[in-house]
C-alpha cells in the first residue's frame, strides 16, 4: 500500500502490473479499495492495475472541511497526473462513477475509457417527487442515529432479501462504520444535486460510456441517450445487489474483460 497526498489529504492506493492500458478502480461511497481484490488479482498479469481509497474512506485521510464528489474527482485527476498514468481506463462503482466522470473531464488526455459498475442508472435525473420527503427524512435520521440509518439505507436501496448473507454483512458493517461527516454530506449531495453535475459533465465526456449494470434495478436509457452524447453501451448482469465485484466477481471479471477489449480496439487506430 502506498500513499499520495493532495490538498493535505492522504490517499492510500495499491498498484501492480506493468503493461498498458492502466486500469484505475474507484470504489463507491462508504466502502474501500478492498472491494476490488478479485479484479486486481485477475487483471494484474495483463495490465497495470491501480485502486485507491477515496478521501474519507478506508485508510485515506479525513481532514477535509467539505465533502463533495467533485473534489474527489479532482483528487483522482491529480492522482493520475502526478503518477503519470498512461492509457487509463477508469472503472468506477456507484458514486465512483461520478468521481471518474469528474476526473475524465478534468484531465481527459490520458483517459481512453470509462466503465461504470452499477451506476448512471438515472443519469442526470433528479429524485422523483415521491422520494423527496423520504430522502430528507433519511438525512435527518443520519444526523440523529447514523449507524442504524445507514444500515437501513443499504438494506432498502442497495441490497435485497436474496443477497448472499456474507455480502450483506460486509456491506452493512462498512456502512455502519463509515465516516459520518463524509457519508452524510455526500449522500445529501447525491440526493439533491448530483444529477446537475451529470447533466453538465456527461456531454463533455470524450469517450463512450461503458456500463456494466446489475438488473436488480433497471437503467433509464432515455436519460443516457439525452446526456451521454459520445455514446454509451450497457452490459447487463444478473444479480441481487449493488455490489457485483463481491457478489459475482468471476462474472464481473468476464464482463470487464470483454469491455476492456472493446476499448482497446477502439483506441488501436
Q: Which three cell numbers stand for residue 254?
A: 468476464
For range 54-71, the mean pLDDT: 94
Name the residue ranges covered by the structural domains of the chain.
2-126+195-266
Residue 242 has pLDDT above 70, yes or no: yes
More confident residue, 10 or 51: 51
Report how far residue 101's alpha carbon sits from residue 115's, in angstroms, rounded to the nearest whole number: 10
Pairwise CA distance, residues 255 & 216, whole Å = 17
Q: Helices in 83-160 by DSSP H: which ranges?
A: 95-106, 129-144, 146-153
138 pLDDT higher than 90: yes
Tell me what the mean pLDDT of segment 137-159 comes to: 96
Q: How far is CA 173 from the centre of its chain?
A: 19
Over residues 252-266, the pLDDT tens digits come to 999 999 999 999 999
Q: What is the pLDDT of residue 131?
A: 80
Using DSSP's 3-state secondary structure scheme, residue 127 falls into coil
pLDDT for res 128: 83
- Percent of the chain having pLDDT more than 90? 90
pLDDT of 86-130, one tens digit each? 999 999 999 999 999 999 999 999 999 999 999 999 999 998 888
Q: What is the pLDDT of residue 269?
A: 65
CATH superfamily to which 2-126+195-266 belongs: Alpha/Beta hydrolase fold, catalytic domain (3.40.50.1820)
How does 82-98 read in b/e, with b if 16+ C-beta sit within 10 Å? ebebebbbbbbbbbbbb
pLDDT at 4 over 90: no
Average pLDDT over residues 42-64: 96
* pLDDT of residue 170 exceeding 90: yes
Residue 133 has pLDDT above 90, yes or no: no
Q: Is the pLDDT of residue 7 over 80?
A: no
Residues of the chain with pLDDT > 70: what percent? 99
Q: Across the chain, which distance is largest between two alpha carbons, in Å?
A: 55
The residue to which cell 499520495 is assigned? 4
Model pTM score = 0.97
- pLDDT higher than threshold 80 for residue 233: yes
Amino acid at each position: 500500500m502506498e500513499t499520495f497526498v493532495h490538498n493535505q489529504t492522504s490517499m492510500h492506493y495499491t498498484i501492480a502490473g506493468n503493461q498498458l492500458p492502466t486500469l484505475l478502480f474507484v470504489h463507491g461511497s462508504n466502502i474501500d479499495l478492498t472491494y476490488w481484490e478479485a479484479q486486481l488479482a485477475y487483471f494484474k498479469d495483463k495490465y497495470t492495475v491501480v485502486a485507491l481509497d477515496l478521501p474519507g474512506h478506508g485508510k485515506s485521510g479525513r481532514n477535509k472541511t467539505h465533502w463533495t464528489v467533485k473534489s474527489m474527482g479532482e483528487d483522482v485527476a491529480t492522482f493520475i497526473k502526478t503518477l503519470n498514468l498512461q492509457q487509463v481506463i477508469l472503472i468506477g462503482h456507484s458514486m465512483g462513477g461520478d468521481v471518474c466522470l469528474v476526473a475524465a473531464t478534468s484531465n481527459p488526455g490520458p483517459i481512453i475509457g470509462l466503465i461504470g459498475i452499477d451506476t448512471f442508472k438515472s443519469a442526470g435525473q433528479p429524485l422523483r417527487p415521491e422520494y423527496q420527503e423520504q430522502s430528507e427524512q433519511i438525512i435527518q435520521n443520519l444526523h440523529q442515529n447514523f449507524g442504524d440509518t445507514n444500515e437501513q439505507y443499504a438494506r432498502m436501496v442497495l441490497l435485497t432479501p436474496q443477497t448472499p448473507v456474507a455480502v450483506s454483512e460486509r456491506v452493512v458493517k462498512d456502512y455502519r462504520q463509515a465516516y459520518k461527516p463524509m457519508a452524510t454530506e455526500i449522500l445529501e449531495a447525491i440526493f439533491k444535486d448530483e444529477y446537475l453535475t451529470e447533466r453538465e459533465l456527461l456531454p463533455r465526456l470524450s469517450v463512450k460510456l461503458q456500463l456494466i449494470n446489475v438488473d436488480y434495478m433497471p437503467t433509464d436509457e432515455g436519460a443516457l441517450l439525452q446526456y451521454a452524447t459520445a455514446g454509451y453501451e450497457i452490459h447487463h448482469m444478473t444479480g441481487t445487489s449493488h455490489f457485483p465485484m463481491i457478489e459475482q466477481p468471476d462474472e464481473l471479471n468476464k464482463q470487464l474483460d470483454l469491455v476492456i477489449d472493446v476499448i482497446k480496439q477502439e483506441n488501436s487506430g
